[in-house]
Copies of this chain bind each other. A is one copy, B any other.
Amino acid sequence: MATLGEIAAVSSARLQGCDAATVVTGVAPLNRAGPGQISFLTQARYRPFLAKTRASAVILSVEDAADCPAPALVADNPQVAYARAAALFEPVAEARSGVHPTAWVHASAQIAVDAWIGPHSTVEAGAVIESGVVVGPNCVVGAGATLGERTRLVAQVTICHRVRLGRRVLVHPGAVIGSDGFGLALDREGRWLKIPQLGGVVIGDDVEIGANTTVDRGALEDTVIEDGVKLDNQIQVGHNVKIGAHSALAGCVGIAGSARIGRHCMLGGGVGVAGHLAIADRVQITGMSLVAQSIAESGVYSSGLAVEPNRAWNKISARLRRLDEMFRRLVALEKKLNRDRST
């Protein structure tokens, strides 16, 4: 529950045709919002719903404000304004501090007095849990790990030994941070010998890590995820990878060992990045592409192929296998034609 005045204040929006005292109790999309709800216009495909919206107020841009039949909160960046406004309507988790009776905390761990360790969580020797941290139910915090101020592990999260998380890091259920990297040496008989993974993981401030995402510890030095990085669900980050600040990776991305991703990069869903390469700042990779070599220039890159009806695709695929032959036949034709002409 918030007044339009309060919402305008947190979202840096200007009230237009609004009574600042109007009370709003929830958020809804433009086509569903009713009285008492605030809505927003941040995507073009919702514009048709603006004229008939029944929302109590709409967050939108200067350009759209003129067409708004309802009271408006006009913002320079309506999406950012909406993100800030919506935070007022998040269910407030019961403020808890202390250690739940079913949790187990090693005597040598340091837990800030206002931190919370939830049911069935395990905190190993020497771990440091800073002020305001929330460790949800059924988490494991390994020996010597550090969770910075106001970091939150939602539930079932595993933070392995000596991993360091910054402040306000949000880790979703099932994520594993600091598992061993995939380091193997091949012996004379073709058997794999494990290379001990002695490095750690260092994660900056304001990082978000999605459900069931895995981040491996470094082989010798640390795997590094810089400030403000956002990782979606089911991402795999190999050992010694470095992800630059404010990059965002969509679900199911896989990054092989020692790859370096720049700052402000965006990787689409299912992208694969080979090991030991570097991607420059501000590079975007579209979904299901494979980055097999370093990318030195910012820009948008792709290698995903979109579906065709199966029968057509089978033909394309068969022809593709003869592409080299096709090219050679083309060159032969060109030569023949030039020869014919010259004779």
Q: Which residues of A contact B (CB under 8 A)?
A: 27-29, 32, 42, 45, 77, 79-80, 82-84, 86-87, 89-91, 94, 100, 102, 104, 118-122, 124-125, 136-140, 142-143, 154-156, 158, 160-162, 170, 172-174, 176, 179-180, 182-188, 190-196, 198, 206, 208, 210-212, 214, 216, 220-221, 228, 230, 232-234, 236, 238, 246, 248, 250-252, 254, 256, 264, 269-270, 272, 274, 276, 285-293, 295, 299-317, 319-324, 326-327, 329-330, 333-334, 336-337, 340-341
Task: Given the known inter-chain contacts A176-B174, A269-B254, A327-B322, please indicate yes or no for A137 contacting B137, CB distance below 8 A.
Answer: no
| Contact assessment for B246 and A192 in the assembled complex, using a CB-CB cutoff below 8 Å | yes
Report how far A16 CA is from B243 CA in the complex, Å. 40
**Complexed CA–CA distance, A138 and B161 (Å):** 15
Q: A80-B185, A156-B140, A291-B307 are in contact. Are A326 and B327 (CB under 8 A)?
A: yes
Write out the residue numbers on chain B whose beta carbons fall within 8 Å of the beta carbon of A102.
102, 104, 122
Check if A216 sits within 8 Å of B233, measured CB to CB.
Answer: yes
Q: Which residues of B contact A161 (CB under 8 A)?
A: 91
**Distance in angstroms between the alpha carbons of A330 and B331 in the assembled complex:** 9
* Shortest distance from the beta carbon of A82 to any chain B beta carbon, whole Å: 7
Q: Which residues of B contact A311 (CB under 8 A)?
A: 300
A277, chain B: closest CB distance, angstroms = 11
Q: What would 13 more interface pairs be, CB under 8 Å, given A179-B210, A210-B214, A289-B307?
A: A27-B198, A80-B187, A80-B193, A91-B161, A120-B138, A122-B138, A138-B158, A142-B155, A192-B248, A270-B290, A290-B307, A302-B310, A305-B317
- A91 contacts which chain B residues (CB < 8 A)? 143, 161-162
The one of B182, B304, B327 that contacts A230, using a Cβ cutoff of 8 Å: B182
Residues of B within 8 A of A269 (CB): 236, 254, 256, 272, 274
- How far apart sit A226 and B124, CA to CA, in the bound complex (Å)? 33
Query: Which of B286, B333, B334 is in CB contact (< 8 Å) with A310?
Result: B286
* Contact present for A214 and B211 (CB under 8 Å): yes
Closest residue to A253 on the B side, CB-wise? B252
Complex contact A176–B173 (CB within 8 A): yes
| With A118-B122, A172-B180, A310-B300 as contacts: A196 and B292 at CB distance below 8 Å | no
